[in-house]
Structure 1
Amino acid sequence: MMRYIPPILFLGTMALAVPTASAQVVPTDGSPHGMVAVGAGIVPEFDGAQDMRAVPFVLGDVRWGDVTMEFRGLRARVDLASDPRLSAGPLIGLRLGRNDADGAVGWLPEIDMAVEAGAFVGYRFGGDRYGQGSIQVELSLAHDVSNTHNGLIATASASYAAVRTTDFFLSVDAQSSWTNADYARTYFGVDRAGATASGLDLYRPGAGFRDIGGGMSAGYWFSLRFGVMARAGANYLVGDIADSPITDEGRRLQPMAALALSYRF
């Protein structure tokens, strides 16, 4: 079956904490400066799927005065905190739907793309002038505002900047998400009509932890302006979501990877 491939996709937490200014001259006139990266990635076809698909990938950080606009594929947010160690502000994003799935899951109702809005707060501990050795902790909350799943997703994450120099960075991260019952039942539940159509068992999950995950991000700037970035990670579904017959048709381990060329301005 043909599948819709979005122009951009959020890969996991993407906790890159990219050092865009460490080897870059910051404009003295207050004009915008930052980094954008464009490349390709591979992700599961939908939450809980076993098959993978290739997708384009876009990421960016643009700073204008004390405000930073961050783009991670289908999610965007604005950091309004002027303190370099504190980050906080609103976020908005899209969650891909489930369409044209193979096998028994394909007989379940299709799910439209969801629009989610919320807020985040984070803090960075330690680190040298480049940020090496720092630990970043963060909590985000996002709620569906498109009446697709009407759910709430809370995500806690932490990342460690293992290496951070003027031309190279390497960081590792971990995260876990909690969802309410509305989200879990939309994406991993099977109602009576769905069970009849698909042959899957009737299933009604409740609120709880969705997954635990981790990954590694690295980047190298081979000139003042241009570089390359890579990301690899995986989430492991847990709780009621892991016990869903939809997950049984796919797999609990949800890997992802991306490679992109980056540009600083």
Structure 2
Amino acid sequence: MTHMHDPAWIAALAAAMAVTGLVSGTLAGLLGVGGGIVIVPVLFNVFPLLDVPEAVRMKLAVATSLATIIPTSIQSARKHRAKGAMDVPLLRSMIPSLIVGVLIGTVIAVWVRGSVLTAVFAVISLLVAVNMAVTGLDYRLRETFPTGAPRHALGSAIGGVSAMMGIGGGTVGVPLLNLFGTPIRSAVATASAFGIIISIPATLAFIGAGWGNPLLPPFSLGYVNLVGVALITPTSMLATPWGVTLAHTIPPLLLKRAFAVFLGITAVRMVWSLIG
């Protein structure tokens, strides 16, 4: 862990984390993704500088990302709701199934190898990117979001996959909501609140699961690295309002295509890391 005692390296890490926070915060407001779609790959590549063993690297990235999402999601959701775009009744109806999914996904995430989480991250990101890139703005499987068991199944899937990926729920939630009749802007606004529901219990679970693990680097609370949280959180919160403003000024179809581009780039980077 000698790198952590080098002032030049610490300064470089601080700068990198600050930039990561600015980018992820902007994306949180713009796309409702909670920023994790950017934070996880960046942390996955930064943690080797701390000599973090490969066995815990991805779990550390996922858990740290989830911890940074908590305040950013709260800020993003509040601002989207203030603009009147959030579907509050739909959100409330999905809370129980989202939580169930988070608990299941987190249990799986802490037991499987880190490479499995990397693969899940890459595959889901690629599928969502393709969907958002090839479907039109008004493409729907149906005009209204399903009720009953199908709604709970979708909520559980969103919660479970998001917990395993270290994301706020928008990456999976936005395209699913849009696919089932929710206008893209409303989908982004509603999914921004998914991040609150997903990140809090998942973060707590990752803290407990990693508690006392001797492979974790200094300044870690379970699988959550406090250095990453301290550097990313304030800059991402600063940038979130920029993304919210952009979300309400950019043409909806352009917003959808931008979402696809970011996810596609992320998927390619993660697949490359597995091959390498």
Please tell me the TM-score bracket, short chain as reference: under 0.3
Higher strand share: 1
Q: In terms of Rg, which structure is larger?
A: 1
Flag the structure with more relative contact order, 1 or 2, with Cα contacts below 8 A and sequence separation at least 6: 2
TM-score (norm 2): 0.26
